[in-house]
Amino acid sequence: MRETAFFIDGPVGQLEALYLQVPDARGVALICHPNPVQGGTMLNKVVSTLQRTARDAGLNTLRFNYRGTGASAGSHDMGSGEVDDARAATAWLLGQQPPLPLTLLGFSFGGFVAASLAGRLEAAGQAVERLFMVAPAVMRLGAEHPLPERCPITVIQPQSDEVVEPQKVYDWSQALALPHELLKVAECGHFFHGKLTDLKDLVLPRLSN
């Protein structure tokens, strides 16, 4: 099965995207990519691993480039603008028939985008089945980006992360009043070099149950 390349209408122009429809899908997954200013795109290998993992769990998958990334229109906002883009992508994904449960996954800056989006969707009455935040940029999650309160949250943090300081994620997790699980990956850097299989092994069973 290969993903289909196409464009979604975004808030500031077209968004480049890749969509995969699996037979008898039991859900849909949106995957949000890392910091575009630092070279992050939807083709990032962690994003690709999350996409394949969701596919293997029986979910239709959508990944996309934020504004100003790849062939997507506009310029980087590095905040609410990328969440707006993700919401437009979600609207397209949920508009496919039949409507299916939504899972959000995000890596690094994309972890912030996915978490903020989940909070927005829940506030608007749209249920989110599950939220995965991988090496997330939690320092961006201020009061203006509330988290969802009703969906299960899984945080996966490399213990040797050289981009997002692990202790910041641990402290954020400890202070978070919402129920969630924090999974620490030993001897693992931010980009999961040599550890992508470990990442899949953590995510797949949680997507499959």
Give the domain CATH number at 175. Answer: 3.40.50.1820
Nearest to 61 by CA among 107, 14, 3, 5: 3
pLDDT, tens only, 160-190: 999 999 999 999 999 999 999 999 999 999 9
Q: Which residues of the chain carry a pLDDT beneath 50?
A: none
Question: Which pLDDT score is estimated for 162?
Answer: 98
Question: Which pLDDT score is estimated for 209?
Answer: 76
Residue whose tokens read 């979910």: 59
Calculate helix-pair angle for 196-208, 45-56, nearest 10 degrees: 30
Nearest to 92 by CA among 21, 197, 181, 179: 21
Question: Which pLDDT score is estimated for 1?
Answer: 86
Question: Which pLDDT score is estimated for 76?
Answer: 95
Question: Which pLDDT score is estimated for 164?
Answer: 97
Question: Which pLDDT score is estimated for 70?
Answer: 97
Question: Which pLDDT score is estimated for 11?
Answer: 97
Q: Is the pTM of this model over 0.85?
A: yes
17 vs 6: CA distance, rounded Å: 5
* Domain containing residue 56: 4-208
Number of domains in the chain: 1
Question: Which pLDDT score is estimated for 99?
Answer: 87
6 vs 22: CA distance, rounded Å: 17
Tokens of 178: 């919402």
Question: Which pLDDT score is estimated for 98?
Answer: 85
Q: 63: part of which helix (H) or strand (E)?
A: strand 59-64
